[in-house]
Structure 1
Amino acid sequence: MRYGMVILSAGFSGLLSFCFLAVSVGTDYWYIIDVNKPNYTDSEELSSYSGLWRINEGSQKSSVIPTFTANMSSLSEMERHLLELHKAVVIILPLGLVLLVFGWIFGLASSLASSPKLLTGTAFYFLFCSLFTLTGVSIYIQYSNKAMEEFQRIVAPEELAYVNVSFGWSFAMAWISFGLELAAGLLLLLAAKVTQMKGRYDCGVAVTL
């Protein structure tokens, strides 16, 4: 297996993982609430979709989620818990973006050096980044489930029959980023193995000569 091809694949995976996560964090289709009331012409105005930073209701209304500016004393215990979960997500995922930038730099340096130790270290760094992304996405799932439980508590069951909730493509892109981070880490481990085997082969040839 060629070292160059493995390194290029790892670098491409790392770059794509950053791009997917950046688009995911910056867009508003993490969670979609679709209301479809029969004989109600403005059902679309009741629907909404949200991201990590904004909630978009209807066709034009948009509001910023007050993650860090909300008055905690005026909130219920459940609302405070939801806000803390959301705060964790909007800290972890953007921080994961920063970590990926450093990971790509480390990967470039270790690939040029062709050092098995540096490649292995960078591989584990990318695997750590993937755990970071996984943690953020998992907390968002927990946040969404808790928010839905609260929604079901305050909305009449007959009204819930017309409500359909789902995760959107922004959420899916975060999962894809997680997979690409894993792929980058595993490919760098493979590159380290290839470099190590090549070093042993070169040493063996030198001894023979």
Structure 2
Amino acid sequence: MRVTFGSLVISAGICGILSFAFLATSLGTEYWYIIEMNPMNISDIEDMSSHSGLWSINEGGKMYADSIDSFTADYSRYSETELQMLSMHSAIVVLLPFSLVLLLFGGICGLVSSLARSPVLLTGTASYFFICSVCMCVMHRSPGLLTLCGVGLYIIYSYQALAETERLVGPEGLANIHTSFGWSLGLAWLSFSLELLAGVLLLVAAQMAKLQNSSPTVA
């Protein structure tokens, strides 16, 4: 089966649209982190099962705002570990929405470069997707990634929060609690993968357009 320029750019466009949709859905849902109580051991204690997103927590069917306001918090009240967690939380809630905006802009660039069939513009757009996905940016001396960094930071943040909770209540306090990452985080990872795939497809399309432009025309 012969792969055409049109099929490549259409596939890249579909990947870009799905990547945007998955990331937007993940940011707007509350299944990034799930806490479940062992049903055999909750007869005498309150059921603290919950699932949370980046900005809110759903506990017992009731929605609560995230108790950590990393932008307006009084930093003098927190320990060094808690301050580090606040910094990670601030980075997460900035990087992931910013990545969504950049993904939308990349889609516009991809549409323009595809219509123009310009190898230079297609290569530039592909590179843009790679940069948005995996390359490093520097913010106030703190290294951070966009989609990949935001998701990775959330995982590190969650493990550190669990470790801090265990330090405060002891291992026995968490014996009846099971924690796991939810499907919202999975959608963010899928969005990252599709973002990379869109970049690869555009890069292949750029090479194909370059070959077509350099081929001699037959009179």
Q: Indicate whether 1:128 and 2:131 are aligned.
A: yes
What TM-score, normalized to structure 1? 0.92
Is 53-62 or 115-124 further displaced after alignment?
Answer: 53-62
2:9 to 4, 7, 32: 7
Deviation at 1:37? 4.9
Larger helix proportion of the pair: 1
Aligned to 2:34, what secondary structure does the other structure show? Answer: strand
Three-state SS of the structure 2 residue aligned to 1:46 is coil
Q: Closer, same or farther in 2 for the Cα pair 1:164/1:107, shift >3 Å?
A: same
Q: d(CA) in 2 for partners of 1:28 and 1:125? A: 29
* Runs of 4+ that moved beyond 6 A: none
Correspondence for 1:180: 194
Post-superposition Cα deviations, 1:57-110, rounded to whole Å, max 9, x if no partner, equal: 233252334121221111222111111001101000000011011100000000
In 2, Cα distance between equivalents of 1:54 and 1:161: 25
Structure 1 stretch 100-109 or stretch 59-68: which is displaced more?
Answer: 59-68
Contact kept in structure 2, 1:11 and 1:184, CA below 8 Å:
yes
Question: Residues of 2 paired with 1:61 and 1:113: CA distance?
Answer: 48
Cα shift at 1:142: 1.2
Whether 1:50 aligns to 2:52 is yes
Mapped to 2, the partners of 1:2 and 1:160 lie a distance apart of: 56
More off after superposition, 38-47 vs 103-112? 38-47
Q: TM-score, normalised by structure 2?
A: 0.88
Cα distance in 1 between the residues matched to 2:121 and 2:57:
43
How far the C-alpha of 1:42 sits from its partner, in A, is 7.7
1:77 aligns with 2:80: yes
Map 1:76-155 to 2 at 5 A: 76-131=79-134, 132-155=146-169
Q: Following TM superposition, by how much is the alpha carbon of 1:173 offset from its aligned partner in structure 2, in angstroms?
A: 0.5
Output the aligned Cα RMSD. Answer: 1.7
Output the CA distance in 1 between the equivalents of 2:199 and 2:127: 6
Deviation per CA, 1:20-50, whole angstroms, max 9, x where unpaired? Answer: 1011111111111111152524877311211
Q: CA deviation at 1:155?
A: 1.9
Counterpart AA for 1:91: V
Q: Does the residue aligned with 2:24 lie in a helix, a strand or coil? A: helix
Instruction: Point out where structure 2 has 5 or more consecutive residues left out of the alignment.
Output: 135-145
One-letter amino acid of the structure 2 residue matched with residue 137 of structure 1: V
